[in-house]
Structures are given as C-alpha cells and as structure tokens.
Amino acid sequence: MSVSKQLCGPCLQETIETDGVSYCTVCEEPLCEKCKLDHGRRKVLKHHKLCDLTDLPPKEINDLLKSLLACPNHEKEEVVYLCKDHDVTCCNKCAMADHRKCEEVKQLSDILHDIKMDCSGLKSVLREMQQNCESLLEH
C-alpha cells in the first residue's frame, strides 16, 4: 500500500513541516520521530495507541469503522454495551436511559474477553487433536 506523505500534527501547529512516521489513533494525527518520543513521555499521552503510518488503514475504512462504533441515538458517543434483552448495542447514555432495567446488559470489552478465553481453550484442544491425528497417521 502506498502511503501519501503526512505531516506531523503537533509540528504543523507550530508551522514546522516535518514528515510523520507514526500515527496516534487517540489524537488522530501523524507524529514525527521527536513528537512520537514526546508523546510516550507525557503522563497524559503515555497510554495512547501509536502505529506506523504504513500500517494505517485507508481513510474510507477508518470512517466505516467509526460509523459502526457510533451510537445510533448519540452520534458523538461510542457503543460500549450490548443489551441482550433487546439485541442492540448502546452507549453509556442509552444504557442509563433505556436499558437500566434490562436483565442482561454487558460491556462489549467483557464479551470480547470471554470470546478470547474460549478461543484460547479451543486452540489447545485443536493442537491436541492434531497431535493425536499425526500419531494415528504414523501407526
């Protein structure tokens, strides 16, 4: 994938044109090597997710992902919960207003964690099955 030249956001604010090498997914701006290091040193920014500019998906895909994560009722909010009673995703505001009496409202991050745990168990079972099949083939 060819990467168009992107200038460092913080440097550009100071009217300095420096090529970006990384991208902060939280700040949504490219960073030069110096600003990338500064980003990692500041307490407030330390936990921001940085990626290489070459690994950045095209803008259309980013926009699609944002639209999928946006709450249908509150466009500036991200969906955080899944209400299993109504089979809908919702943001914090919707969860409090519309789903506080529902039986099963779960955080999406917890659901994802459970799926990952299930998959790790599945991997070990599949490895064991593969080893058994290989030993069967030998005999």
Element (H or E) spanning 11, and its range? Answer: helix 9-13
- pLDDT in the model for residue 102: 95
Question: What residues does 81 pair with on adjacent strands?
Answer: 90, 107
DSSP string, 57-119: PPHHHHHHHHHHHB-SS-TTSBP-EEETTTTEEE-HHHHHHHSTT-S-EEEHHHHHHHHHHHH
Kindly indicate the confidence band of residue 4, based on its pLDDT and cuts at 50, 70 and 90.
low
Whole-angstrom distance, CA of residue 89 vs CA of residue 26: 22
Q: What is the pLDDT of residues 69-95, one digit of tens each?
A: 899 899 889 999 999 999 999 999 999
State whether the Cα torsion 8-11-12-13 is positive or negative: positive
The amino acid occupying position 32 is C
Kindly indicate the confidence band of residue 3, based on its pLDDT and cuts at 50, 70 and 90.
very low
- pLDDT in the model for residue 56: 84
Q: What is the pLDDT of residues 22-79, one digit of tens each?
A: 999 889 899 999 999 998 888 888 889 999 988 888 888 888 888 888 998 998 899 9
Higher pLDDT, 18 or 58: 18
Asked whether the predicted pLDDT for residue 107 surpasses 90, the reply is: yes
Rounded mean pLDDT of 2-20? Answer: 84
- Give me the residue label for tokens 């509150």: 74
| CB-based contacts of 7, cutoff 8 Å, min separation 6 | 17, 18, 19, 20, 30
